[in-house]
């Protein structure tokens, strides 16, 4: 027998305002055609002026709890991945805790940019396996629209806002790769690559700052590192890419998603793709894709899923889990 963190609920929330690529043609030297062909993005959601990351996160969490048939009283911990928290402190996670009416347990944020959800999932799994929590809400939520430089066509057309959440529950498994739940994780970072992707402001520099990215450099790292980390996670679970039902990748760019699947030897039929509708929602993109994938009937109980993500840091990683 072995402990496993099993996904028992999933949900998401997207802000109402949908912005098609054509909006950017009005203010920037860009075209719908360029954005579509270079990134695969067709539209994205942007939060309203008075809508914050914790608002999106709380709505996604409520949807995941409803899907699990649970209430906030059943949850022991909240782990929220974000780089765009409402306030410098407290954490967005504790704000969600209050919004849900959860008056016990503990909550904290994880900051690993686009790899944030993979980091959050791995840490939540460790909390469950070490007995510190039985049920954990794992949330990815972002309002990247707040850190865009709207004059920089090479970045502002790529990102969107949104939130997704999972409920993880500790259950007994057989200790084999047939078990439901998280089977293995792989986390990596290399701070030498800071200049490839960062925000040029923060508390200690006394500004909010804007996202800066050397997109083609990040692209080069992405395909190689993502295929590798996914394969490492699968190998730790005693599995290979042949066992995978779904790759649920971080949704940054369709060409990165296609390149990674190709490198792993899997057809696009085995990949959940939402980048066309959401853009890059950073830490929210994987739980959003899991939720959409379940709602659309693609992801079914028992399916073997590998999630992978890379982002600022650079930070990257993967989780192999059976749904």
Question: Least separation, in Å, of the C-beta of 153 and ligand ACO?
Answer: 4
Query: How many whole angstroms separate alpha carbon 202 and alpha carbon 181?
Result: 37
- Interaction between residue 276 and ligand ACO (CB under 6 A): no
- Interaction between residue 275 and ligand ACO (CB under 6 A): no
- Interaction between residue 229 and ligand ACO (CB under 6 A): no
Where does this chain touch ligand ACO (CB under 6 A) — which range of 182-190, 200-208, 250-258, 296-304?
A: 250-258
Residue 278 CB burial class (10 angstroms; 0-12, 13-18, ≥19): buried
Nearer to ligand ACO, 250 or 322 (CB): 250
- CB-based closest residue to ligand ACO: 311
Catalytic residue among 45, 210, 250, 278: 250
81: which residues sit within 8 A by CB, 6+ positions away? 109, 110, 111, 112, 116, 117, 119, 120, 138, 139, 140, 141, 283
- 114 counts as catalytic: yes
Where does this chain touch ligand ACO (CB under 6 A) — which range of 28-36, 58-66, 87-95, 164-172?
A: 28-36
Applying CB under 6 A, among 223, 252, 266, 306 the residue interacting with ligand ACO is 252
Nearer to ligand ACO, 56 or 239 (CB): 56
Nearer to ligand ACO, 141 or 304 (CB): 141
Residue 302 CB burial class (10 angstroms; 0-12, 13-18, ≥19): exposed
183: which residues sit within 8 A by CB, 6+ positions away? 4, 177, 236, 237, 239, 320, 321, 322
Question: Least separation, in Å, of the C-beta of 215 and ligand ACO?
Answer: 3
Catalytic residue among 21, 45, 114, 278: 114
Give the single-character DSSP code of 175: S
214 vs 56, 87, 316, 323, CA distance in Å?
A: 29, 27, 17, 35
Is the sign of the CA dihedral 66, 273, 20, 115 positive or negative?
positive
- Interaction between residue 113 and ligand ACO (CB under 6 A): yes
- 210 counts as catalytic: no
Applying CB under 6 A, among 19, 25, 30, 149 the residue interacting with ligand ACO is 30
On whether the CB atoms of residues 133 and 127 are closer than 8 A, the answer is yes
- Interaction between residue 193 and ligand ACO (CB under 6 A): no
Cis peptide before 83 (omega within 30 of 0): no
- 280 counts as catalytic: yes
On whether the CB atoms of residues 281 and 142 are closer than 8 A, the answer is yes
Catalytic residues: 114, 250, 280
Instruction: Report the interface residues with ligand ACO, using CB under 6 A.
Output: 30, 34-35, 38-39, 113-114, 153-154, 157, 197, 215-216, 218-219, 222, 252-253, 256, 280, 282, 311-312
């Amino acid at each position: 027998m072995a402990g496993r963190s099993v996904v028992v609920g999933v949900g998401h929330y997207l802000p109402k305002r949908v912005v098609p690529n054509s909006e950017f043609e009005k203010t920037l030297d860009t075209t719908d055609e360029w954005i579509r062909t270079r990134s695969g993005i067709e539209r994205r959601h942007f939060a309203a002026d008075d809508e914050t990351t914790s608002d999106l996160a709380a709505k996604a969490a409520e949807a995941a709890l409803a899907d699990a048939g649970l209430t906030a009283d059943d949850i022991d911990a909240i782990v929220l991945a974000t780089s765009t928290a409402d306030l410098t402190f407290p954490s967005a996670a504790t704000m969600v805790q209050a919004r849900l009416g959860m008056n016990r347990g503990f909550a904290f944020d994880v900051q690993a940019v686009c790899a944030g959800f993979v980091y959050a999932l791995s840490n939540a799994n460790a909390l469950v396996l070490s007995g510190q929590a039985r049920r954990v809400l794992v949330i990815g939520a972002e309002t990247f629209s707040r850190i865009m430089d709207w004059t920089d066509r090479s970045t502002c057309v790529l990102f969107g806002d949104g939130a997704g959440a999972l409920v993880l529950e500790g259950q007994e498994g057989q200790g084999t790769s047939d078990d439901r739940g998280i089977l293995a994780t792989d986390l990596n970072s290399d701070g030498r690559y800071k200049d490839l992707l960062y925000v040029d402001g923060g508390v200690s520099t006394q500004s909010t700052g804007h996202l800066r990215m050397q997109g083609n450099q990040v692209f080069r790292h992405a395909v190689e590192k993502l295929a590798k980390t996914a394969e490492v996670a699968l190998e730790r679970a005693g599995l290979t890419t042949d066992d995978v039902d779904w790759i649920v990748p971080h949704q940054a760019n369709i060409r990165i998603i296609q390149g990674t699947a190709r490198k792993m030897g899997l057809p696009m039929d085995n990949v959940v793709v939402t980048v066309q509708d959401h853009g890059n929602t950073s830490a929210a993109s994987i739980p959003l894709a899991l939720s959409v994938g379940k709602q659309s009937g693609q992801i079914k109980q028992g399916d073997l899923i590998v999630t992978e993500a890379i982002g600022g840091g650079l930070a990257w990683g993967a989780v192999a889990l059976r749904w």
